[in-house]
Amino acid sequence: MNSSSASSPLSVVYVLTNPAMPNLVKIGRTSHDDAKTRIDQLYTTGVPVPFTIEYVCKVPNSAEVEKALHLAFAPHRINPKREFFSIEPAQAIAILKLLHVADATQEIESQPSLLDQAEVEAAIQLSRKRPNLNFEEMQIPIGAVLTCKSNGRHAVVVSNRKVRLEDEEMSLTAATRRVLDIEYSVAPCPHWLYEGQSLTVLYDAAYAPESSEV
């Protein structure tokens, strides 16, 4: 390591979500000492509730790590000028852990916050309003065939909350782990299609908040 990198301030890479932005993950970097403040400052007048910290890690080369993650998830980037990706937090976290980075999540969360408790509670309450999927409510009938986007494997709906995969009944979350060959759970809807339509679209249509009368 050269002297300039050795003397540079410690920085972090963060993975954030926001319950007002379902199915999106923000990946960025900032300085270590005021990371919580920087993250809290992302909660602007255009954002209904604060961001939730999913993972933060200390890295000596945050610019390189951030660039690598942005490149890896480029096909899922919503806007080339924004750091938002249509992925699961676990996908970004898994890559960071492969780099043997130093987990700083609890440390950063314990830093002083700019937010008051009411703002934090608003984000918690909004995240709790996202119900578990129910195939009947999503207009997906029993017997429907779901197709995995990434490899074309199929699962058959056998009840409101279960599918059959390889002659075994399980939740769609468990089926997603199996077809993706991963050991951790991810939100299943982004990975499946029904009659060519993403389950994410069907979920959002089924559980969209009711419009307020004006």
What is residue 53's three-state secondary structure?
A: strand
Q: Is the CB of residue 16 less than 8 Å from the CB of residue 52?
A: yes
Q: Band the pLDDT of 41: cuts 50, 70, 90.
A: very high
Label residue 92 exposed, middle or buried (CB < 10 Å: 0-12, 13-18, 19+).
buried
Average pLDDT of the chain is 86
Q: Band the pLDDT of 22: cuts 50, 70, 90.
A: confident
Q: Is the pTM of this model over 0.75?
A: no
Nearest to 76 by CA among 14, 20, 22, 25: 25
- Residue 211, pLDDT score: 37
Query: How many residues in the chain?
Result: 214
Tally of CB atoms within 10 A around 114: 13
CA distance linking residue 40 with residue 49, whole number of Å: 10
